[in-house]
Structure 1
Amino acid sequence: MTTTTGQLEEAGAILAEESARFAGFGWMRGTSGNLSAVLSRDPLRLAVTASGHDKGELTSSDVVLVDGDGAAVDGGKPSAEAELHARVAALTGANAVVHVHTVASVAMGRREPGGIVFKDLEMLKGVGQPAHDTEVTLPVIANSQDMKVLGDRLEAARDERMPAVVVAGHGLYVWGDSPRQARHHTEVVEWLLELALTER
């Protein structure tokens, strides 16, 4: 299946809108953070936000088409973490991945390096889990500049009940079936992290 310019621009417009929203929350300061959306599965192709751009000012053109290894297909410079986005999409079946740099995710990753446990919270419904009588762990993995190493750590640590992982000292990766669902998951997980930071 060939990805068209129109598909890429449409995905770019959606990711630009999502980026502006996250930047408005203060979760993508400066040029930090990145987003992606799957455009095809066979072969795997993703639209990934371009490197070095202010995430509050993206346009539909500020995305790069990448393959299953996170490499640019038709030129352009994707985020340095595009390879991890592709790995998450392949591993989880997600169609969108969000990476934000929030204070709560970094702080809680330091406090709970073995994973952050949540239970008896209504907001767990926002990630598809029961509000009560279920304990869900948000994994925390050590950071690496090598995306293959980071991907291996994510694969080994992930909990299928939690569509997210904290990268220690770095930030939060979250995914979903669509950019909208990935956004909702991100907002819910960040709420849980902020609550945990406040309580602990």
Structure 2
Amino acid sequence: MSNGDIPWEEKVTALDAVNRLREEFLARGWFPASSGSLSVRIGGWAPDRYTFAVTVDETERPELLEESSLRAGVLFVDAAGEPCEPTRLKPSPDTPVHARIYRLTGCGAIVHVHTAYNNLLSEYFNADGGVPLKGNELLKRIGIWETSTEIRVPILPNAAELSTILKRIAGGLDSRVPAFLLQNHGIYAWGSGLREAKRHLEALEFMFEVLYRSLLLPSKGRHI
């Protein structure tokens, strides 16, 4: 299904959903300095043919965008990350990463945010290749029902060249974990739709904060 074959009401629903979630994440402080990106896939899917709505490049938002409908802050792009319709706007610089995740997973939505916790832990556990999570009830919210099982949220080395990052994604994914971290950058989490992707992100961010705070606790034999 090409962009032209997708019903308009499906496009409008996607635009509104992405913008509502964007506003929520802005309020949470998860898009510091206009960073981060959101996307949702619409229409049919094949590994090399699909369409998704993605937030625009915030660093190049023209003034007219601030005065027009919020829907103007989202573009429809193809599997190559190129806009499907004429526009003066540019998709988020993260769009190729979104496109690669869709191609590899067939998921329905992707959320990418920068937080202090995911940045700190991606650096602290970088040599281990992933952030270890075990024993937390919220593991169930990402589909891990045996909370005694340890998982590791993959950490991919960051790079100045986007092409290098893209090459690392396929080999860095864990089929049990709907997310990965870029070292000192942020998290990409996904799901069947925006609601599930948001749930996965919230669960992981909560567990990241718990893990970070646990690393600061004094040993049991020490009293302050």
- Whether these two folds match at TM > 0.5 is yes
Query: Residue 122 of structure 1 contacts residue 131 of structure 1 at CA under 8 Å; is this kept in 2?
Result: no
Within the candidate set 38, 45, 53, 1:47 is matched to 53
By how many angstroms is 1:131 displaced?
4.2
**Match of residue 125 from structure 2:** 112
Task: In structure 2, give the amino acid aligned to 1:72.
Answer: P
User: Residue 84 of structure 1: CA displacement?
Assistant: 0.8
- Structure 1 residue 4: Cα displacement: 4.6
Q: Does 1:73 align with 2:84?
A: yes
Give the stretch that moved more between structures: 86-95 or 96-105: 86-95
Stretch of structure 1 that moved more, 141-150 or 160-169: 141-150
TM-score by length of 2: 0.82
Aligned to 1:100, which of 94, 98, 113? 113
Q: Please, what is the CA RMSD of the aligned residues?
A: 1.7
Q: Distance in 2 between matches of 1:115 and 1:174?
A: 14
**In the alignment, what sits opposite 1:162?**
177
What is the aligned partner in structure 1 of residue 192 from structure 2? 177
Partner SS, residue 30 of structure 1:
helix
Which amino acid is 1:160 matched to? S
Q: Which moved more, 1:95-104 or 1:141-150?
A: 141-150
Summarize deviations over 1:158-195 as a string: whole Å, max 9, x none: 11111111101111100000001000101001011111
Look up the match of 1:28.
Answer: 31
CA distance in 2, matches of 1:163, 1:151: 17
Structure 2: any 5+ residue segments left out of the alignment? Answer: 216-224
Q: Secondary structure at the match of 2:70?
A: coil
Higher normalized helix content (fraction of residues): 2
- Secondary structure of 1:139's aligned partner: strand
1:18 aligns with 21
Identity of aligned residues (%): 30
- Alpha-carbon distance in 1 for matches of 2:39, 2:74: 9
Which structure 1 residue ranges, 5 or more long, are not aligned? none
Aligned-partner Cα distance in 1 for 2:202–2:193: 14
Matching residue of 1:195: 210
Report SS of the residue matched to 2:110.
strand
Choose 1 or 2 for highest CA Rg: 2
* Equivalence map 1:133-148=2 (5 Å): 133-148=148-163
State the TM-score, normalizing by the size of structure 1.
Answer: 0.92
Runs of 4+ off more than 4 Å:
none
The equivalent residue for 1:87 is 100
Secondary structure of the structure 2 residue equivalent to 1:194:
helix
Structure 2 distance, partners of 1:34, 1:3, is 23
Is contact 1:11–1:60 with CA below 8 Å preserved after alignment?
no
Give the distance between the partners of 2:115 and 2:147, measured in 1 at CA: 27
Preserved CA contact (<8 Å) 2:140 2:147: no
User: Mean Cα displacement is larger for which, 70-79 or 171-180?
Assistant: 70-79
